[in-house]
Amino acid sequence: MAEDIAPRSVGEACRDVLLSADPFAKLMRARAVARDWRLGLLAHRFDAEMPLRPARPAAPELLPPSQMPKRGKMGSERSRIAMLHALAHIEFVAIDLAFDLVGRFGRDFPPEFVGDWLKVGAEEAMHFALLDRRLKQMGSHYGALPAHDGLWEAAEETAHDALARLAIVPMVLEARALDITPTTIERFTQAGDGVSARALTRIMADEIRHVSAGTKWFNRATKRLGVDAPEYYQMLVNRHFRGAIKPPFNDSARRQAGLTRDYYIPIAY
């Protein structure tokens, strides 16, 4: 009789996503891992070390944020392509952020945590695919322009603290996207680019749920530690986030995600 073969670990599956450099391969693996977890084909086991940095394609060229070229006004197609390319890069990196979160910290949380964040990762892959398809419709593609690497710096800063990662990535960076995306959608609409505006509207609805997942797991973890969630959030942001928490805030979208004003207003300026 053949010996039973242990199912593949979710940790190893997450590592494979991070080590996929090709954008199409990464998004397909991300979707496959989320599907396999949902079907019970992956073990809740973390026996693979996450890389310090994920694999990246040869393009786009990654520049410091200060060296990124100015995009100009949204009225021109060139500036709209530049904005969509920047957003596509954010979604591309967000795939890795979600799978790194699971692979690096999943052992400290129940299986529900894994399911939530693998779903987030699969949705980030879908967002990237939407934006890359729109770029191609406009005669461009992902990699045609430079991009900045600031998002992954947040991952490196919080690589040894699950609560810091939750505080900085979904509860600061993704929450900031909730603040600025409505204005971006309006600018595309005013420029007559309803296709892009609709894509961003769809993405924003998902991002509210992503911030909600971050807030949910942050609150559960701080409750387990016996600390005040907003105060602990503020301490972690002050320690690990180099930027500013500044208005305007989309209080309504943040509130839908459970990120109420008592978290961020005391440290806003």
pLDDT digits (tens, 9 = 90+) for 133-159: 999 999 999 999 999 888 899 999 999
Which own/partner contact pairs does 244-251 have at CB distance under 8 Å and 24+ positions apart?
Answer: 244/269, 245/172, 245/269, 248/179, 249/179, 250/178, 250/179, 250/182
pLDDT at 3 over 80: no
Minimum mean pLDDT among 4-13, 82-91, 121-130, 205-214: which range? Answer: 4-13
Residues with Cβ < 8 Å from 40, sequence gap 6 or more?
none
pLDDT given for residue 2 in this prediction:
41
The yes-or-no verdict on residue 186 having pLDDT over 60 is: yes
Question: What is the tens place of the pLDDT at every residue in 196-214?
Answer: 999 999 999 999 999 999 9
Average pLDDT (118-134) is 98
**pLDDT tens profile 22-68:** 999 999 999 999 999 999 999 999 999 999 999 999 999 998 877 88
Domain ranges in the chain are 7-49+78-148, 149-269
Q: What is the band of 11 on the pLDDT scale with cuts at 50, 70, 90?
A: very high
pLDDT at residue 6 greater than cutoff 90: no
Mean pLDDT, residues 116-129 taken together? 98
Q: Is the pTM of this model over 0.85?
A: yes
- Using DSSP's 3-state secondary structure scheme, residue 62 falls into strand
Give the pLDDT score at 23.
Answer: 97
What b/e sequence results for 121-143 when a residue is b if at least 16 CB atoms lie within 10 Å of its CB, and e otherwise?
bbbbbbbbbbbbebbeebebbbb
**Binning pLDDT at 50, 70 and 90, where does residue 254 land?**
very high
Closest alpha carbon to 259 in 201, 208, 202:
208
pLDDT at 73: 67
